[in-house]
């Protein structure tokens, strides 16, 4: 059975960003279908295995943003994170550098930065 994707504010931001980046509507739809399969809601702060436990996701995000959970810890913990559930160490390190490690500094859960990183990848 095909599941209908429920659009929300985040999905609309993703659609607009990808469309403005030159992807066709079909390409955007395909990519968004894959993102939805990862986290069922386009949640930029979703931590693997913690769907429905927003407290754990928020704490993890805050710890990464504050630096109490280092880039090294974040990139090697093997926990999927964000809209694409980045897990592999070099990809998570890249996400970290693109957000928290950037100037100006962004939250690791910034939806716009995550989509920009996805396109950059």
Structure confidence by residue, pLDDT tens digits, 78-112: 999 999 999 999 999 999 999 999 888 999 999 99
- Is residue 4's pLDDT more than 80? no
The torsion angles phi and psi of 86, rounded to 5 degrees, stand at -55, 130
Tokens at residue 106, please? 């962004």
Which pLDDT belongs to residue 55?
87
Residue 63 burial (CB < 10 Å; 0-12/13-18/19+)? middle
Cβ atoms within 10 Å of 107's Cβ, excluding its own: 16
- Is residue 2's pLDDT more than 60? no
Q: What CA–CA distance (Å, rounded) separates 35 from 106?
A: 21
pLDDT confidence band for 6 (50 / 70 / 90)? low
Which pLDDT belongs to residue 41?
82
| Model confidence pLDDT, tens digit, residues 14-73 | 999 999 999 999 999 999 999 988 877 899 999 998 876 778 999 999 999 999 999 999
pLDDT confidence band for 3 (50 / 70 / 90)? low
CB 107 within 8 A of CB 65: yes
């Amino acid at each position: 059975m095909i599941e209908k994707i429920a659009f929300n504010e985040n999905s609309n931001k993703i659609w607009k960003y990808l469309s403005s980046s030159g992807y066709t509507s079909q390409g955007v739809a395909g990519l968004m279908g894959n993102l939805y399969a990862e986290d069922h809601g386009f949640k930029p702060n979703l931590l693997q295995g913690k769907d429905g436990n927003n407290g754990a996701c928020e704490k993890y995000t805050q710890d990464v943003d504050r630096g109490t959970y280092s880039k090294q810890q974040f990139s090697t913990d093997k926990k999927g994170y964000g809209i694409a559930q980045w897990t592999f160490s070099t990809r998570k390190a890249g996400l970290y550098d693109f957000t928290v490690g950037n100037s100006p500094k962004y939250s690791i859960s910034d939806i716009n930065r995550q989509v920009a990183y996805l396109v950059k990848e």
